[in-house]
Structure 1
Amino acid sequence: MPDTPVSALDARQQKLADNARVALERGNLDYVLEMTGQILKTAPGCVAVRRLQRAAQLKQAPGRGGMFSRAFGRVTVAPFLFGASGKDPAQAFAAAEKALAGDPGNVGALKQLAAAAEALGWPETVVFALEAVREITPGDAANLIALGEAWLAWGRPQEALRLADEVLRTRPVDAAAQKLMRTASIAQTMTKGKWESGEGFRTKLKDEAAAVSLEQAAKHVTSADMTERLLEEAQARVAAEPGNVNHVRAVVGGLRQLGRLDEAVAWIERAQALPGGQGDAGLAKEATELRTKALEVRVQRAAAAAETGAPEGGADGELAAAQAELQAFRLSAAQALVERYPNDLAARQELGEMLLAAGRVDAAIAQFQQAAKNPATRVAALTGLGKGFAAKKLHDLAVAQLTLAKAELGEMSEQKKAVLYELGTALEAMGKREEAMAEFKAIYSEDIGFRDVLDKINAYYAN
């Protein structure tokens, strides 16, 4: 059976859940535990209520001492765990709940909760439990894979892809992560197709009540007021545990959602400086994305100012400076990524394109030559090599690379048009006008509006 949303609880339980939320904000932890315990007895799959319960347990945990944790830590390796004892899932789930009530940081109990929830058909609860494990042991690759599979089972392939990527950044040959990446990629493509065709929409919205529920969930997620409140809670957790990287991550997420990007950058730098954040590939990737987004916003604002302000007012200069800073940062980030992951040929392709745009042709050619070894980036790399050789006026070498790229492409596509155009341009530069026109005509017959192909064809026939 599926997890239980709060809206599916009866009116009395919904009221208890709301009271528990208010009590948590006020620090009345015993009341929170009492109310959430009552609800979860009859609705154990209600994750929203379980999150309230865990938040209260974590706040209260320091006062309970570590005796139970040590005791249960010894027991969790014994064969009574779910899957090794023959216990039914409900009993295993209840045992894990009892253990977590005494020690919410017990990883063994959280994993048992996840295993039992999976058997009971509660995918969101599985994600909840494994996310809790991740907060305690963020570097556990096996748990990250299990969490990715749980997200996939819940129908969220994008989250599964993110976790697979996180593992592969530090363990590029991890077979389980590679399998998760492939499976999640296929699932994401299929899901997208269903929603675009309307099939997924009709399946998910079988009745008006389901539509209202989704709309309310979306409002909950996008509410600025709610985000502000969650941000304040995250900042309070950081104040209580300044060394906890996950709490800082939560602050970064809130700031990002609110569009306060410069603040988010400052906080993520703080996370990277913590012991748990140093060398974290996922954190480094997020930091790069945030800095890039912040610079992009700066460019957009400078562009708007340049459009409305007089050039002599300095707006054009500010725009040029912002664009240069953004380009320099992107190039620096791409170089750092290649230095860290020299076998990531897709990253080399991206770096090559940036170097070529910056006029550093020889350096770009070196990156394209490596990227051409990757089937996924081979055509783009050959095209980049062609453009690089053409920039150096080595047109015969450019034609050779672009001809190889052309041979690897089938029916006409945007990528093939670009390859044919570059090939035609290189042939034209060599004085081979008829051969060049053959390439331009192939584009013209499919897309008369591609770049300046129309002008080239008209000029050819006019002469």
Structure 2
Amino acid sequence: KRLDEAMQCYEQAIAINPRDQDALRARKNLSAEGQLGGGYATAKSSRELLKDEEGQAELEKSHRIHKSTDEISADLAAAEAQLTATPDDIDALRRVGEMRAIKGDIGGALDCLEKALKAAPDDLKLLTSVTDLQVKEIRVELDKANKLGDDAKAERLEEKISRLRTGVAKKKAEVHPTDLGLRHALGVLYLEGGDLDGGIAELQKSVKDPRHRLEALLHLGRAFRAKGMHDLARGQLEKALEVAGTQHARTLELLYELGELSEADDKVADARGFYSRILEVDIGYKDVSRKLETLKG
């Protein structure tokens, strides 16, 4: 009976939060124990007795999980009552919004957090929370579009997500203009959104930060290549290769980029050189073997 009660509690916890790994793992363990048909009444070994004690511990844990859920609901009700009394209170709006999000009410959470953000537009934490929830909401529609094969709608939704993320990154960079990590993140988002010049401008700042120098050089090389500026692209990629050395995870990727760039410029000998260096380390890397065979001809 106790195992049944524990299982019911876990099912309730999982229904509230399907991603609750503790509850999922405990349910699995409890299910396996139930299949043994043991317990104190039928235990025949110390191992079975131990399993029954573990089952009791799981039962107690399940009650704590369920109580926690009840507490969240009670806290939410209290917060909503406070919000009713003070509808323009930013802290109350934030608290209700965050708790609604925990319970999976994305629309209700956004109602509160967006209102709070209007009152405090420079609050970066609020801005991030609102954007994350907006993206989550859009991804639901994106999944539906993908399942229906509506590529046009899926593309529009992807672009919308990109604009939202770029907006947040831009705001953060404006508030903290000397933070090169934020500049780097903004530059990458600009490039992903198709704004090559905007991305290059930000990455040329973040390249001064040793933590981001390699990635910034790689992205700059790709951006200049996309603009048709192959000499500039080659310079950035060669600098990136110097930073990476021979053992970095990015080394083969950089050699491949330089090989493709050389091919595009009809520099066959250079291309073969870069591809051969890859082959020395990983014969199965992408289509390098085929490229070398083609270049030999």
Q: 1:217 to 1:304 in 2, by over 3 A?
A: farther
Which residue matches 1:321?
156
Contact 2:255 2:274 (8 Å CA) reproduced: yes
- From 217, 228, 237, the equivalent of 2:82 is 237
Contact 1:272 1:283 (8 Å CA) reproduced: yes
Deviation at 1:229, TM superposition (A): 4.5
Contact 2:206 2:212 (8 Å CA) reproduced: yes
Deviation at 1:449, TM superposition (A): 4.8
Give the partner amino acid of 2:205.
Answer: Q
Give the partner amino acid of 1:357.
Answer: E
- From 195, 199, 214, the equivalent of 1:364 is 199
Find the residue that maps to 2:294 and give its secondary structure: helix
Where relative contact order (Cα < 8 A, 6+ residues apart) is larger, the structure is: 2
Structure 2 stretches of 5 or more lacking a match?
A: 1-52
Which residue matches 2:251?
416
Which residue matches 1:354?
189
Deviation at 1:282, TM superposition (A): 2.0
Which residue matches 1:268?
113
Q: 1:233 to 1:402 in 2, by over 3 A?
A: same
Deviation at 1:370, TM superposition (A): 0.6
Which residue matches 1:246?
91
Give the partner amino acid of 2:235.
Answer: A
Find the residue that maps to 2:244 and give its secondary structure: coil
Q: 1:333 to 1:278 in 2, by over 3 A?
A: closer
Counterpart CA distance in 1 for 2:246 and 2:140 is 38
Contact 2:163 2:193 (8 Å CA) reproduced: no
Counterpart CA distance in 1 for 2:128 and 2:236 is 33
Find the residue that maps to 1:408 and give its secondary structure: helix
Q: 1:392 to 1:346 in 2, by over 3 A?
A: same
Matched, 1:407 2:250: no
- From 427, 436, 454, the equivalent of 2:271 is 436
Counterpart CA distance in 2 for 1:389 and 1:217 is 59
Which residue matches 2:233?
398
Matched, 1:219 2:219: no
Find the residue that maps to 1:248 and give its secondary structure: helix
Deviation at 1:270, TM superposition (A): 1.6
Counterpart CA distance in 2 for 1:283 and 1:337 is 12
Contact 1:251 1:267 (8 Å CA) reproduced: yes
Find the residue that maps to 1:279 and give its secondary structure: coil
Contact 1:386 1:402 (8 Å CA) reproduced: yes
Counterpart CA distance in 1 for 2:289 and 2:111 is 50
Which residue matches 1:113?
none
1:108-187 paired onto structure 2 within 5 Å: none
Which residue matches 1:258?
103
Give the partner amino acid of 2:146.
Answer: A
Contact 2:142 2:154 (8 Å CA) reproduced: yes
Contact 1:389 1:398 (8 Å CA) reproduced: yes
Counterpart CA distance in 2 for 1:217 and 1:373 is 53
- From 364, 380, 386, the equivalent of 2:215 is 380
Deviation per CA, 1:388-434, whole angstroms, max 9, x where unpaired?
Answer: 21112221221111111111114544433332222222222232223
Give the partner amino acid of 1:219.
Answer: I
Contact 2:159 2:193 (8 Å CA) reproduced: no
Q: 1:300 to 1:400 in 2, by over 3 A?
A: same
Deviation per CA, 1:178-223, whole angstroms, max 9, x where unpaired?
Answer: xxxxxxxxxxxxxxxxxxxxxxxxxxxxx95997499548834885
- From 335, 339, 356, the equivalent of 2:170 is 335
Contact 1:234 1:251 (8 Å CA) reproduced: yes
Counterpart CA distance in 1 for 2:81 and 2:134 is 25
Counterpart CA distance in 2 for 1:211 and 1:411 is 53
Q: 1:452 to 1:214 in 2, by over 3 A?
A: farther
Contact 1:395 1:427 (8 Å CA) reproduced: no
